Amino acid sequence: MPKSTSLWIDTAHRPSAAPLVEDTSADVCVVGAGIAGLTTAYLLAREGRSVALIDAGEVGNGQTAVTTAHLSSVIDDGFTEMLRLHGPDGARLAHESHARAVDRIDMICGDEHIDCHFERVDGYLFLGKKDKESTIDEELEAARAADVKVMRLPQAPVKGFSSGPCLRFPNQAQFHPLRYLNGVADAFMRRGGRIYSQTRAESADGGDRACVKTASGHAIRAGSIVVATNSPFNDLVAIHTKQAPYTTYAIGLRVAVSEVTHALYWDTEDPYHYVRLQQTTNRELGGDNDERVDILIVGGEDHKSAQANDAEKRFECLVSWARERFPKAGPLEFRWSGQVMETVDGLGYIGRNPLDADNVYIATGDSGMGMTHGTIAGMLITDLIQRRANPWTELYDPARVRTGAAVEWVKENLNVALQYKDWLTRGDVKSIDEITPNNGAIIVEAGRKIAVYRDERGTIHRRSAVCPHLGCIVGWNPAASSWDCPCHGSRFDRFGAVFNGPSPKDLDPA
């Protein structure tokens, strides 16, 4: 049986910090210790600022633990889209900012001696089965218009994969995200930074007396606040109409070392498939020797969160897709899933929180590129707090509106409006008896929707199925054993505790 966890969680030591147990103060309070929050906290500490970093769980509790960690300057939505939405200067800046983010990760690994298998690799964009060669010709032209180094090839010069016509993007990279995060956390603390785990922020108020209040009743007074919780809990509507949550799936298959060339591979399908390799050892995978092996990581099969309930089928599709293209792939070792926030114009929202005080910043809208967007957040928000000009400020401004994104905006918000029909639909099952152990389902009781989870021992846990953010009905996600909201990305564990915003609180008792 494959492990239902990510390769990263399985192969990294997870340090633990103490919770905040008293009121405190700092120059900057950063909320969220994923790659965005931790990079921001670290870069500010490097400049001598006192920083308090809090997380509702531990370092690397969120989506950074379930990523696939391609470090790429090739924008996921494609340069054709970037040119249409942001113009040639915007497309060029977008590429440049992601390339600088990869360079910055490389530099931090060197400066702080972080052993996280950081590796420079080439990236290859190849055709989906039904896509025409003209798709990559268009992309080639657009990439060149954005000053991107790119080459068209009849076949990628790699072992173990027959790509057909493709584009080659040199100087991309990859790493082990949790080992990187742990290394940055250590470096941050060596520079005087404070990390408080198991410390949930409930409010973040800017202005002269800026303050983050925690669920345990403590206050952190700060000159500036950075909310890097993947999806901001301190913004009710403004940002959440401009981004949408998508669930994505990943598998890890064992391959012998050197059977497949280490590179980033992705195709032109929609949703697209994304592939890379990660070195590990037999021992790390539970074996009894240190022989090196590779894990071929393949991701894809995305769908709007909580709007599909067929995780098994999606994992199977990924496995057969991978075996068809990578015939050397061996046993399935891992399968996991996570959520990405897709913005209507393909780039993250990083900077001052719209409609808020000047000293409250957010980093959200990873658009499937959260490793680099998170690093850009660290660089850009540090500049904003340090009152330095940054050429990316306008491109990533959370308040921006791109007219070319209007159709996508309408489509996503109509989709959200449609989710309210769930108030009127039947439950997933008629009776609690139909729910098998370690499973969840929505039932209707006296006209109310209840999220019911039956644990391994058969005990029933009941919560209101109404999302505390704006009232959509959550759905059971069998791949992650979580309750996910189909509207703006809130997620709750099987017992109803919130672990991903925008909901500021847990599901109500049933």
Ligand X SMILES: Cc1cc2nc3c(=O)[nH]c(=O)nc-3n(C[C@H](O)[C@H](O)[C@H](O)COP(=O)(O)OP(=O)(O)OC[C@H]3O[C@@H](n4cnc5c(N)ncnc54)[C@H](O)[C@@H]3O)c2cc1C
Q: Which residues bind ligand FES (CB under 6 A)?
A: 467, 469-472, 485, 487-490, 502-503
Q: Closer to ligand FES at the Cβ: 272 or 423?
A: 423
Q: Please tell me the distance from the alpha carbon of residue 77 to that of residue 91, in angstroms, as a whole number.
A: 11
Q: Which is nearer to ligand FES, 443 or 466 (CB)?
A: 466
Q: Are strands 24-31 and 51-54 parallel, antiparallel or unpaired?
A: parallel
Q: Which stretch binds ligand X (CB under 6 A): 68-76, 78-86, 400-408, 430-438?
A: 68-76
Q: What are phi and psi of 436, to 5 degrees?
A: -80, 160
Question: What character string, x for contact with ligand X (CB under 6 A) and - otherwise, covers 346-385?
Answer: --------------------x-xxxxx-x-----------
29 forms beta bridges with 52, 225
Compute the least distance from the CB of residue 286 to ligand X, in Å. 22
Q: Smallest distance, Å, CB 503 to ligand FES?
A: 6
Token pair, residue 61, equals 């509790």
* Residue 467 binding: pick among ligand X, ligand FES, none (C-beta 5-8 Å cut-off by kind): ligand FES
Residue 52 vs residues 170, 366, 430, 454, 495: alpha-carbon distances, Å: 38, 23, 48, 38, 29
Residue nearest to ligand X (CB): 370
Span of 133-141, 227-235, 464-472, 473-481 interacting with ligand X by CB under 6 A? 227-235
Residue 489, contacted partner among ligand X, ligand FES, none, CB below 5-8 A by kind? ligand FES
- With contacts defined by CB under 6 A, name the span among 16-24, 61-69, 79-87, 182-190 that binds ligand X: 61-69
Beta carbon of residue 216, minimum distance to ligand X (angstroms, whole number): 11
Are 510 and 450 within 8 A, CB to CB?
A: yes
Bridge partners for 339 per DSSP: 247
Q: Give CA 350 to chain center in angstroms.
A: 14
The residue written with tokens 């915003």 in the block is 501
CB-wise, 75 or 435, nearer to ligand X?
75
One-character DSSP codes across 330-375? --EEEEEEEEEEEETTSS-EEEEPTTS-TTEEEEE--TT-HHHHHH
Which three-class secondary structure state does DSSP give residue 403?
Answer: helix
Residue with Cβ nearer ligand X (370 or 468) = 370
322's contact among ligand FES, ligand X, none, with CB below 5 to 8 A by partner kind, is none
Query: How many angstroms separate the CA atoms of 461 and 434, rounded?
Result: 14
Q: Is 338 near ligand X (CB under 6 A)?
A: yes
Q: Does 278 bind ligand X (CB under 6 A)?
A: no
Q: Hey, what long-range contacts does 431-435 have (CB within 8 A, 24 or more apart)? A: 432/460, 435/460
| Candidate segments 28-36, 81-89, 120-128, 381-389, binder of ligand X by CB under 6 A | 28-36
- Residue pointed to by tokens 């531990």: 58
User: According to the binding rule CB under 6 A, does residue 69 interact with ligand X?
Assistant: yes
Q: Using CB under 6 A as the criterion, which residues of the chain lie in contact with ligand X when the complex forms?
A: 31-37, 54-57, 61-64, 66-70, 200-201, 228-230, 233, 248, 250, 299, 338-340, 366, 368-372, 374, 499, 501
